[in-house]
Structure 1
Amino acid sequence: MKIADMNWMQVEQRTVEDDRCVLPIGSVEQHAYLSLATDMILAEKVSLDAAEPLGIPVFPVLPYGLASSFATFPGTLTLTLSSYVGVIRDLMDSIHRSGFRRVLIVNGHGGNTPATAVISEWLNAHPDTSVKFHDWWRAPKTWAKVQETDPAASHASWMENFPWTRTTDQRQPTGAKPKVDFAGLARVDAARKRALLGDGNYHGLYQRPDEDMLAIWDVAVAETRELLENDWH
């Protein structure tokens, strides 16, 4: 259930009955021909789809993350690391004050990984709380399904091309893009990264049949739901 559909009194009562909640986190950044909001869209939707049958509240997705590598692509918004650390800590403090003690953070962007270090430190000061950090797309069962479908899967490729991440732009390459030079990307600034990346896809096809995508999504939702249901202590 969406926190947006609840008032504060309902949240207070809910935490007495069940202290689980979900915080999706994403990024607004280039995704080739897909939505700039792909990472936040997918993190929020998989959270809502997984939590709905359980009645567990899902907070609105944190849209902005660490996307400095794509800073020169128009529409990409990024926080500095110092700002991001503060945002994650403040949100965790607020969630704790609200009474939640079991928190699933569903991450949609690989660049947000530094949040795990913040949470590790935060947990030392809040030993009454359990937090799971879930990279939904590369969780074991979901990633296995992706690899089974097509091992050439990467940022802004077919593996993020769901019906809900597409734009009105009808341009969609039909071929597969060769793998980019990852070592080269790692040693240059954002402007040179953009030159190396071209449209932004790292490698692979741009789109696969919707039946493939929905099959992957079903696995992702089930795997996320399992985290909500099991192994909190």
Structure 2
Amino acid sequence: MASETEIEWMRLTFAELNARAAEGAIVIVPVASLEQHGPHLATGVDILCATAVAQRTARRLAAAGRPVVVMPCVWTGLAEHHVAFGGTVTLDFSTFSALLKGVVRSAARAGFRRVMLLNGHGGNAEAVAVVAGECQVELGIAVAAGTYWHLVGDGFAPILERQSTVLHACEAETSMVMALMPAAVRPGRLAEAHGPHSTRPEGQPAAMIRRRSFREMTESGVIGDARSASAAKGEALLETASTIIAEELSRERLWT
């Protein structure tokens, strides 16, 4: 039956989801943002990439016999640092936290006991981790959290030419969008799609977090250099991410 191979929550019936819950399925919740991505990319980059990584990861898990289901993407998050460019939607932390908790709580009430908040926006990273921890205490289920390129570690470095991991509207993100939705790329603006390779001013330690408006750091809205992006790189990045993350989520020790 088609429902046995379907991994998207919204495409399954309540009875089919009840069966997945009874099997101990992992629920993957992609979490993203709707925000500026330079002169060459549409604003939905994080939604596209987080959803694609989540779904490809789930398909790998399902192919290995691991029950899994993917929620629709939580499409907005914490993006105040992009607002000055325009085209950005952002929430405050209390609203974002309440939204994520409502999603996880709903999964728990539907019988699921294992949830992965798979983040695809740098500005959400710390918040998603905090929410996951609070959900575990409040709901008594296993809730993991991680940003997909952090979970990949150095796995992206061999694929990229001008950077080692995901930055912003960069070689990596542009390549993935080229692979996923070419119409969301403006090729005529790629020549402008470059900027500094860090959001930290000189002297700020890597371990110190202080958010600044991207307007203060990059004229283009880009961190990194998208000019060497390609669809082939994007496909390789997506496959690498889904392979590594599926391996991580398959480890029973994570959930016990």
TM-score, normalised with respect to structure 2: 0.80
- Aligned AA (1:19): A
**Structure 2: distance between partners of 1:196 and 1:73:** 12
Q: 1:169 aligned to 2:176? A: no
In the alignment, the residues of structure 1 paired with residue 118 and residue 155 of structure 2 have an alpha-carbon distance, to the nearest angstrom, of 19
Give distance in 2, aligned partners of 1:17 and 1:205.
43
Please tell me whether residue 182 in structure 1 is matched to residue 200 in structure 2.
yes
- The answer to whether the 8 Å contact 1:35/1:165 transfers is no
Deviation of the 1:116 alpha carbon: 1.2
Contact 2:32–2:47 at 8 Å: present in 1 too?
yes
How far does residue 56 in structure 1 lie from its aligned partner after superposition?
A: 1.6
Superposition map of 1:140-219 within 5 A: 142-148=152-158, 149-150=160-161, 152=163, 153=165, 154-161=167-174, 162=176, 163=178, 164=180, 166=182, 167-170=184-187, 171-173=189-191, 177-179=195-197, 182-183=200-201, 190=213, 193-194=214-215, 196-219=217-240
1:144 and 1:201, CA in 2 relative to 1: closer, same or farther beyond 3 A?
A: same
What is the rounded CA distance, in whole Å, between the counterparts of 1:168 and 1:34 in structure 2? 5
Equivalent of 1:115, from 125, 128, 148? 128
Q: In the aligned structure 2, how far is the partner of 1:226 from the partner of 1:68? A: 33
Unpaired segments of 5 or more residues in structure 1? none
2:104 pairs with 1:97: no
Listed one character per residue, the Cα deviations across residues 18-62 of structure 1 (whole Å, up to 9, x for unaligned) are: 332111100001111222111111111111111124152111000
| Cα pair 2:193 2:220 within 8 Å, conserved | no
Deviation at 1:197, TM superposition (A): 1.6
Distance 1:174 1:5 in 2: 40
Deviations 1:172-202 (A, max 9, x none): 1178544366238987864xx4254212111
Q: By how many angstroms is 1:212 displaced?
A: 2.7
1:15 is aligned to 21
- The 3 A distance-change label for structure 1 pair 187 and 8 is closer
Q: Distance in 1 between matches of 2:153 and 2:162?
A: 10
Structure 2: distance between partners of 1:123 and 1:35:
35
1:17 alignment partner AA: E
Q: Secondary structure at the match of 2:201?
A: helix
Match of 2:77, SS state, is coil
Match for 2:81: what amino acid?
A: S
In structure 1, what is the Cα distance between the partners aligned to 2:8 and 2:135?
Answer: 25
Select the residue among 44, 49, 61 that pairs with 1:37.
Answer: 44
SS at structure 1 position matched to 2:145:
strand
Identity within the alignment, %: 23
Show structure 2 runs of 5+ residues with no match: 1-6
Match of 1:220 in 2: 241
SS in 1 for 2:118: strand
Count of residue pairs brought into register by the alignment: 228
Q: Which moved more, 1:169-178 or 1:42-51?
A: 169-178
